[in-house]
Amino acid sequence: MTAPPRPAPARPVPPRRGPRWNPRGLAWKPAAVGMFLAVSIVGASVSYDGVLRGWAWLYPIVVVVFATAAAIAVGRLARLPVVVPSAVGLVVWAFSLTFMFLRDTALLGVIPTAHTLEAAREALDEAWNTVAYEAVPAGPNVGVVALLAGALGLTAIVGEAIAVPCRLPAIAGVAPLSVLAVPALLKPSGPGAWGFAAAAAAYLAALAVARADGASDRTSRERRAGSPEPGLAPAPFRARRAGSAVSPTGVVAIVAAIVAGSLVLPVLIPGFERGAFPEGSRLKYFGQNVGLNPFISLGSDLRSAQGVGIIRYATDSTKPVYLQTVTVDSFDGTTWGPDNRDDTRQGNLTAITPGTAQTAPLVTTTTVISTGSFTSPYLPTPYAPASITGVRGHFGWDPLNLSLKGEPGASLDQDYVVRSVMPDVTPDVLDKARSSARGIGRENGIVPSAIPSLVRTTAETVTKGAASQYAKAIALQTYLRTFTYSEQAPVNEGYDGTGMDVLEKFLEKKSGYCIHFSAAMAVMARLVGIPSRIAVGFAPGHPTGGSVAVSGVGVLPEFEVDARDAHAWPELYFEGLGWIPFEPTPSRGVLPAYAQTDSPSGGSTNLDNLNDGLRPSVGPTPASSPSAAPAPQVAAPGEAPWEPAAALAAGVLALAALLVLPAAVRAAQRRRRLAQGVDGAWEELEAIGLDHGIPPSPSDTPRAYAGRLAAWEADDGGTVHEALATLTREYERHEYGRPGYRADEDAARAAISTLSRASRAASSPAARARIAALPPSAFARPRNALGRASQRARRALRELAARGGRLWRGLRNRPHR
Amino acid sequence: MDVHRTGVTAITPLRAGPPPQPMPPTRFRATCERILASVDRVIDGKADASRTALTVLLAQGHLLVEDVPGVGKTMLAKTLARTIDCSVSRIQFTPDLLPSDVTGVSIYNQATRQFEFRPGAVFANIVIGDEINRASAKTQSALLECMEEHQVTVDGTSYAMSEPFMVIATQNPIEMEGTYPLPEAQRDRFMARISMGYPDEAAEALMLESHQSESPLLSVQPAAEASEVLGMIGTVKSVYVSDPVKEFTVALGRATRSSERLRLGASPRAVLQLLRASKARAALDGRDFVLPDDVAAMAPTVLTHRLILDRRAAGAGLTAGGVLDAIIAAVPIPSDGAARLRRQD
């Protein structure tokens, strides 16, 4: 009888050892990777110049990020278990934030107390309140800076965790990129070259160190294998090695992470959507468009952070000047349409006459307008233009609404003088005027058939008791001015638009911006019999301090408006007077003298009744003020939309974490094992085998198992065989040899990385993806423990059952004995 | 009775000799290679058998070669004996062989007027017992003491065997007429049992060629001296056995005892001999420590002939070898560290 076939003894490899690297020495490379990432993040934060004013905010960010990163780096240097440095970093993060911002409330200046948390909450609230109404660049108040410093510190922790414990240094580029993403979105000039350069350089340095860390393993293996020159390695092996640092999948993952990061970031950073970072909620993918339908872009113009498309004008008007581009007249229940009467436009710009009779005394004003980069087919003019001189190109005026239209984009860089004629109206005159749709377009009086009852009842209730058309208009305006102005609330609650359903929602929520206010007033005015239209243009701007000399008129003060002044307002038609603008939007524009009432916040008893019936509370009426510096106002009901978004983000994050968890656990296990010498290396080999469908059996001897793994051998000169032989030899000597043998751990680690690559190369892409997503070995130990426990339980149950059976038989047999 | 003797055997009264000095590993390897090479020159295509035989010699065990007639059992024994420069005796066991023929006898010397000990055939370094199952139980058992204790006691005086001492016994499993099958106790004293098996086609052809002129046995030159073999035995003894390997060996032995398919499992002596054989195998493999692989590899050779199948298992057509293989495949490898991922069930 002969012995059963056992695997051949491992091929002896000449035991040539290079200088041994002390495995317990300082791990400076992982530590350096983390520090470089911190530098990269701080460098990226430089690009926040322009989002926040001045540079005072940079110092706290530098302190928090570097303190956190340094704590993690020290942990890595000391080779603490894998999660410990990150946990230490988190603690230092909290301490440094406390120290920088809330020192007075903390214990010893750094340890947060209950007071600190309370103070932090207050600071955050205060920050939101101030930030929400400040234009970019925002003032660097404590709240914003603390928020930013905290976010960047966390980014540093996460980036380091990706780079070092998860061994994905390339992916860690997400950290500085996510920091750069915010200014890239907010600042029209992009993140800025300096910030980007600093971030990129430090990131590349981190990559280089990480690669050097990996390369030191490889060189030690080459030394052992006896190939002195890397160039002597077989070509395919070399190629695969060179590509191992940044693989195509890694690049794809980076891109995916960037996209995901820019999507998740707005949800993660409070305030990103409101206040200082309003543009984050809506990206304008096609640039600053002022297209044929001005409503499309008005909302995002208003939300835009920067004043783009500055128009300067100088006027001799004694009243604030609204620049009007176009009116929208027809409302089909879904959208307001601009005029579509190009064929009736007339080309003589010096004799523009409204087709309506004027009975009131007229006031003529002269305005010099310089459109600059404002791009539109329409020319902004103060209503009602009578003559325009100095425009380049061909423009035509519409007899019905007097809008001036040229080619698309024709308004760019125009300088012209407009003479406008408006009736000098007073409340008395208006009160006597009748409203009827004679002499104007029919569409100005049409309301769609399907009107929500809320809109109709509101219109009727508000105007009940008003004697004249003018009184009705004033009642409507007064009622609407009790609402809250918010550019974000409609976006967040999903009623940003112009349709009838939006109108109903707006009346319900009592929050919106000029489009909603003007549309609501226009529709309700039509409901009570006043023809109406919506004018689109710019609210009165702010004086630049300069002046313009106009020939024949004199020196006129100069004003400027930009995209943030974009506005829409209703115009109501009064016979004999023409189109009279009203201002139902609180805090925007300027309330004309004729439209002012003594009790602006709703002294009408009807309003009180209405409020009882509709909504118990109405926001306080903000004082009207120029739009450039909106007064602090009670926040729109913004908390409610915040929560589902946050919950969704949390859900997405939790899902992502769950998806990444097995791989992260696996990576951590691998790292821990490789730090445990040859024992750990062998365990890792078994884990790799388990992952790739060659699980170790309990009765496998080391070389029997190694023999089974030899199936991974590819045509690359027996590297797998050699690595298996090395690892088996070291492990056998360590495990079964004489005590005191000091195994060559470097060789074992090198063998593991070779075998890890070989195992991947030997499996199909699908299998690789499956293993990467859900490595079977990650949870083998708990699963085995569970299996053992259940087996023990089954055995115990069986025994119990047998014992019970015996007892039962004994009892049953007793009477027969 | 048929006893052939070659070489000179010193007969010494029992006393403890100095322990053999271990041979350095490089010389050990070279000597092993030499011995195996010269055996393989004679026995074509039986490298496994000759290697096992050398393993048993170095582990100070005895070898039982069991196979049908004419496959080279005796040839293997003789060749191994000849490659080592030591005394060899061959006993052809027959039913009428007496114990004293094996051990020796005291004869009254007229001249000196004293009883004089005439050593039996067992007084040699290598004893070849041909067809051991043909001798009577009494004669067989006379061999027991010699094999186990390396000494002979005649008329109250004990005589030590010369070292190295190895019994290579052959037996024929086919011809059962007039034989006395080795009792369990005696089988247990053989460290290993091997079967020769038929040579393959090429080896058989080669054999015809080499055996045409004269017996190749005559051309065998000793490759090692007895003292060298003692040194090698010392080397084997110094092979390190770690705790996990000991645990594994014991676990293997216990598994044969608790198996439902075996009526008789491995004795503690068997476990001891298994470990010794494993040490020899490790040394032959160039290692100074034993691997579980050594134990697993030696287990079928060392244990199979000691196992007795359960009646039901035998009825089911199982063999002791098959049952043992299953047991080896099922006993988990004890390990200090790395086996945490394995299912331990």
**Chain B environment of A686 (Cβ under 8 Å):** 338-339, 341-342
Whether A484 contacts A586, CB under 8 Å: yes
Most confident of A281-285, A336-340, A702-706: A702-706
Residue-wise pLDDT tens digits, A426-446: 887 788 777 766 666 667 777
The reply to whether B32 falls in a domain is: yes
CA distance B172 to B181: 10
Give exposure, A374-394, as e/b (b: 16+ Cβ within 10 Å).
Answer: bbbbbbbbbbbbbbbeebeee
Report CA torsion sign: B15, B16, B21, B27: positive
Average pLDDT over residues A553-568: 80
Q: In this structure, are B67 and B187 located in the same domain?
A: yes
The reply to whether A719 falls in a domain is: yes
Q: Is B49 on the interface with A (CB under 8 A)?
A: yes
Q: Tell me the nearest-neighbour CA distance from A86 into chain B, angstroms.
A: 27
Structural domain containing residue B59: 2-229
Residue-wise pLDDT tens digits, A729-785: 888 888 888 888 887 888 888 888 888 888 888 888 888 888 888 888 877 777 777
Q: In this structure, are A62 and A128 located in the same domain?
A: yes
Q: In this structure, are A420 and A437 located in the same domain?
A: yes
pLDDT of residue A250: 53
Among B169, B194, B229, the domain boundary falls at B229
Q: Which amino acid is at B55?
A: T
pLDDT band at A219 (very low <50, low <70, confident <90, very high): low
The reply to whether A148 falls in a domain is: yes
- The CB density around residue A502, as the number of other CB atoms within 10 Å, is 20
Strands A404-405 and A396-397, bridge-based pairing: antiparallel
**Chain B environment of A6 (Cβ under 8 Å):** 293, 296-297
The reply to whether A286 falls in a domain is: no
Lowest mean pLDDT among A474-478, A651-655, B97-101, B334-338: B334-338
The reply to whether B338 falls in a domain is: no
Among A603, A637, A671, the domain boundary falls at A637
Q: In this structure, are A624 and A662 located in the same domain?
A: no
pLDDT of residue A629: 36
Determine the residue of chain B that is closest to A780 in CA distance. Answer: B341
What phi, psi does A567 have (nearest 5°)?
-155, 160
**Chain A environment of B337 (Cβ under 8 Å):** 676, 679-680, 682-683, 735
The reply to whether B197 falls in a domain is: yes
Q: In this structure, are A339 and A442 located in the same domain?
A: yes
pLDDT band at A43 (very low <50, low <70, confident <90, very high): confident
Q: In this structure, are B287 and B310 located in the same domain?
A: yes
Most confident of B135-139, B144-148, B324-328: B324-328
Q: In this structure, are B76 and B158 located in the same domain?
A: yes
The reply to whether B336 falls in a domain is: no
Q: In this structure, are A747 and A620 located in the same domain?
A: no
Q: Which residue do the tokens 């230092």 mark?
A: A92
Among B229, B248, B273, the domain boundary falls at B229
> Rg (Cα) of chain B, in Å, rounded?
21
Among A637, A672, A704, the domain boundary falls at A637
Q: Is B135 on the interface with A (CB under 8 A)?
A: no
Contact B331 A699 (CB under 8 A): yes
Q: In this structure, are B145 and B67 located in the same domain?
A: yes
**Chain A environment of B345 (Cβ under 8 Å):** 698, 787-788, 791
Q: In this structure, are B204 and B55 located in the same domain?
A: yes
Q: Is B9 on the interface with A (CB under 8 A)?
A: no
The reply to whether A91 falls in a domain is: yes
The reply to whether B234 falls in a domain is: no
CA distance B63 to B57: 8
pLDDT band at A497 (very low <50, low <70, confident <90, very high): low
Residue-wise pLDDT tens digits, A586-619: 877 777 777 776 544 433 333 333 333 333 333 3
In this complex, which of A696, A701, A781 lies closest to B291 when CB atoms are compared? Answer: A701
The reply to whether B343 falls in a domain is: no
CA distance A375 to A379: 9
- Token pair of A584 as six digits: 């139902």
In this complex, which of B289, B300, B332 lies closest to A4 when CB atoms are compared? Answer: B300
Whether B339 contacts A736, CB under 8 Å: no
Average pLDDT over residues A262-275: 48
Q: In this structure, are B15 and B117 located in the same domain?
A: yes
Whether the predicted pLDDT of A67 surpasses 50 = yes
Whether the predicted pLDDT of A691 surpasses 60 = yes
The number of folded domains in chain A is 3
Q: In this structure, are A392 and A470 located in the same domain?
A: yes
The reply to whether A522 falls in a domain is: yes
pLDDT of residue B27: 85
Whether the predicted pLDDT of A117 surpasses 80 = yes
The reply to whether B34 falls in a domain is: yes
Q: In this structure, are B200 and B248 located in the same domain?
A: no
Average pLDDT over residues A320-344: 74
- Residues 70-109 of chain B with CB under 8 A from chain A are none
| Average pLDDT along chain A | 73
Q: What's the number of CA atoms in the CB half-sphere (13 Å) around residue A683?
A: 24
Residue-wise pLDDT tens digits, B66-86: 887 777 788 888 888 888 888
Whether the predicted pLDDT of A238 surpasses 70 = no
Q: In this structure, are B48 and B173 located in the same domain?
A: yes
Q: In this structure, are A75 and A198 located in the same domain?
A: yes
Q: In this structure, are B173 and B194 located in the same domain?
A: yes
Average pLDDT over residues A639-665: 74
Q: Tell me the nearest-neighbour CA distance from A82 into chain B, angstroms.
A: 20
Among B229, B260, B294, the domain boundary falls at B229
Q: In this structure, are A623 and A661 located in the same domain?
A: no
The reply to whether A12 falls in a domain is: no
pLDDT band at A21 (very low <50, low <70, confident <90, very high): very low
The reply to whether B126 falls in a domain is: yes
Q: Is B193 on the interface with A (CB under 8 A)?
A: yes
In this complex, which of A680, A736, A788 lies closest to B344 when CB atoms are compared? Answer: A788
- Residues 258-317 of chain B with CB under 8 A from chain A are 285-286, 288-293, 296-298, 300-301, 304
Q: In this structure, are A374 and A255 located in the same domain?
A: no
The reply to whether A57 falls in a domain is: yes
Q: In this structure, are A269 and A205 located in the same domain?
A: yes
Q: Is B339 on the interface with A (CB under 8 A)?
A: yes
The reply to whether A589 falls in a domain is: yes
Determine the residue of chain A that is closest to B339 in CA distance. Answer: A683
The number of folded domains in chain B is 2
Q: In this structure, are B163 and B263 located in the same domain?
A: no
Q: In this structure, are A576 and A664 located in the same domain?
A: no
Q: What is the CATH number of the domain that holds B205?
A: 3.40.50.300
- Give the single-character DSSP code of A620: P
Lowest mean pLDDT among A99-103, A621-625, A734-738, B22-26: A621-625
Mutual orientation of helices A469-480 and A453-463 as an angle, nearest 10°? 120
Q: Could you give the ipTM of this predicted complex?
A: 0.82
Lowest mean pLDDT among A32-46, A92-106, A133-147: A133-147
Q: In this structure, are B275 and B182 located in the same domain?
A: no
Q: In this structure, are A602 and A667 located in the same domain?
A: no
Long-range contacts of B177-180 (CB under 8 A, 24+ apart): B178/B95, B178/B134, B179/B133, B179/B134, B180/B95, B180/B133, B180/B134, B180/B135, B180/B136, B180/B137, B180/B140
Which residue numbers of A have CB closer than 8 Å to B's CBs? Answer: 1-4, 6-7, 9, 12, 676, 679-680, 682-683, 686-687, 690, 696-704, 731-733, 735-738, 777, 780-781, 784, 787-788, 791
Structural domain containing residue A525: 294-637
